[in-house]
């Protein structure tokens, strides 16, 4: 029950919850300067997407390196761009990560990337739901956002995901959103949609 508690921040003698809180100078975030989340497909042929996005945006550090203290403990990392991968690189599968990372770091940018010859372009949402039902006798149609289950048309899927992020309570309203198409053979990244809120008090 308590086997691994010594590895938790909350059990450290010096622990102070405010040290991790996003505001009040947010000291934890000084050791990991995360600002951008990239959502992409876990297809291994698309594994260069985070680097391609970092190069495109500029002013990002990826992959970065660990920062060690005198004892060799990993107390930080220089990376600014974090990747979330899932089937198809869909926004719906990354909402928990966006909300969680905003607590620790204050997320500034969220980028969705869909890629050429993605497996998610090989079926429709209803094909997936129907086959799953026939094969496993289980209903998944009501668990997920229907249009997030497959990619029928790239521009539509990228715009759908940026819209889903913009309308989600899990994504702070000041966050800048980008949608890209990535061609896996050439490595070319093309910006399809950009949704940058007018800069307000929270910027």
C-beta of 78 vs 86, nearer to Zn ion = 86
* Residue 161 in the binding site for Zn ion (CB under 5 A): no
Instruction: Give the count of residues interacting with Zn ion (CB under 5 A).
Output: 3
C-beta of 118 vs 150, nearer to Zn ion = 118
Q: What is the length of the chain?
A: 203
Q: Which of 53, 101, 118, 189 binds Zn ion (CB under 5 A)?
A: 118
C-beta of 13 vs 44, nearer to Zn ion = 44
User: Rounded to the nearest whole angstrom, what is the least distance from the CB of residue 43 to Zn ion in the complex?
Assistant: 4
The region of 92-100, 110-118, 170-178, 189-197 touching Zn ion under the rule CB under 5 A is 110-118
C-beta of 107 vs 118, nearer to Zn ion = 118
119, 104, 126, 118: which is closest to 29 by C-alpha? 104
55, 40, 5: which is closest to 184 by C-alpha? 40
Spatial distance between the Cα atoms of 81 and 38, rounded to a whole number of angstroms: 7
C-beta of 133 vs 188, nearer to Zn ion = 188
Residue 113: strand, helix, or coil: strand
User: Rounded to the nearest whole angstrom, what is the least distance from the CB of residue 184 to Zn ion in the complex?
Assistant: 9
Structure tokens at 123: 């079926």
Contact indicator for 115, 182 with CB cutoff of 8 Å: yes
CA angle 36, 41, 42 (to 5 degrees): 105
The region of 27-35, 114-122, 125-133, 172-180 touching Zn ion under the rule CB under 5 A is 114-122
User: Rounded to the nearest whole angstrom, what is the least distance from the CB of residue 53 to Zn ion in the complex?
Assistant: 15
Residue 102: strand, helix, or coil: helix
Structure tokens at 83: 């990747």
The region of 26-34, 49-57, 112-120, 183-191 touching Zn ion under the rule CB under 5 A is 112-120
Site string for Zn ion, 21-50 (x = CB under 5 A): --------------------x-x-------
Write out the E strands in the chain.
Answer: 36-41, 66-68, 74-77, 81-86, 109-115, 176-182, 189-195
C-beta of 32 vs 52, nearer to Zn ion = 52
Spatial distance between the Cα atoms of 165 and 160, rounded to a whole number of angstroms: 9
Spatial distance between the Cα atoms of 18 and 27, rounded to a whole number of angstroms: 9
- The residues binding Zn ion (CB under 5 A) are 41, 43, 118
């Amino acid at each position: 029950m308590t086997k691994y508690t010594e590895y938790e921040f909350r059990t450290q003698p010096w622990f102070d919850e405010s040290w991790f809180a996003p505001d009040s100078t947010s000291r934890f975030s000084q050791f990991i300067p995360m600002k951008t989340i990239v959502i992409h497909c876990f297809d291994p042929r698309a594994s260069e997407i985070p680097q391609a996005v970092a190069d495109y945006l500029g002013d990002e550090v990826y992959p970065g390196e660990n920062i060690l203290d005198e004892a060799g403990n990993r107390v930080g990392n220089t990376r600014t761009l974090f990747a979330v991968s899932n089937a198809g690189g869909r926004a719906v599968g990354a909402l928990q990560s966006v909300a969680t990372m905003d607590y620790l770091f204050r997320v500034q940018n969220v980028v969705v990337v869909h890629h050429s010859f993605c497996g998610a372009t090989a079926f429709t949402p209803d094909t997936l739901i129907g086959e799953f039902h026939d094969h496993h006798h289980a209903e998944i149609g009501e668990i997920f956002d229907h249009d997030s289950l497959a990619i029928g048309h790239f521009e539509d899927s990228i715009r759908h995901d940026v819209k889903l992020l913009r309308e989600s309570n899990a994504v702070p309203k000041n966050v800048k959103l980008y949608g890209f198409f990535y061609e896996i053979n050439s490595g070319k990244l093309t910006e399809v949609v950009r949704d940058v809120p007018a800069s307000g008090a929270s910027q």
